[in-house]
Structure 1
Amino acid sequence: MSEPAQPSTARQNLGSFAPKLVSLTDDVLFGDVWERAELAPRDRSLITIAALVAGGNSEQLPYHLNLGRQNGLTETEIVEAITHLAFYTGWPRAVSAMGVAKQTFKA
């Protein structure tokens, strides 16, 4: 795979520290899985945001919230999804995710 003009987020954050993880992220996750036609990017974003909220993985949320908006999700839909998830993943995780969403959407 040829190098993109702008280094990926994974490459920017992990660079030579974890080159295999960067390669798997760029080539397999985003280069293959995210490009599969069986799910629309919008749906993949909604699923990914839900999984991150469910797992309490707030650190990766800003990137995926922004990607979700690029993929056609509205802020209202994302807020509604997080609200819905509060009942299935736990209130603290949803409230934490909502705080991240609020900060991300402000920026």
Structure 2
Amino acid sequence: MDALALIRQNLSIIRERYGVARIGVFGSVVRGEATPASDIDVLVEFREGEETFDHLMDLTFYLEDLMGRPVDLVIADTLKPRVRGTVLAEVVYAWGPAALSGGHQGRHRRHPLLCGGTVV
């Protein structure tokens, strides 16, 4: 089963347990270039007040267990300007406003949780 379908089947857990507002897949999986060794690139937005390190790590582990592959979980607010346009143009949301409208809405600020860390 593909990554997006697995996320969609488990949305209630993902939204309730980890405080997710919107989640989608991007990168090689979306472009059809993934190999068996590829990780799965996932873009996430947390609900207000739910952006915690514990939620980030626990969601990463949950998705890796669910998919049986490494997951590169990226908080949308942490996207660097040089890759923001590319990621937002190709992300396919599993749930949330853009999943219905087909596009991304809003600008992202630098996320305080990962300031100083290595992010995409």
Radius of gyration: which is bigger? 1
Considering fraction of residues, name the structure with more helix: 1
TM-score range, shorter chain: 0.3 to 0.5
Q: What is the TM-score of this pair, normalised by structure 1?
A: 0.32
Q: What is the TM-score of this pair, normalised by structure 2?
A: 0.30
Q: Report which structure shows greater RCO (CA 8 Å, sep ≥6).
A: 2
Considering fraction of residues, name the structure with more strand: 2
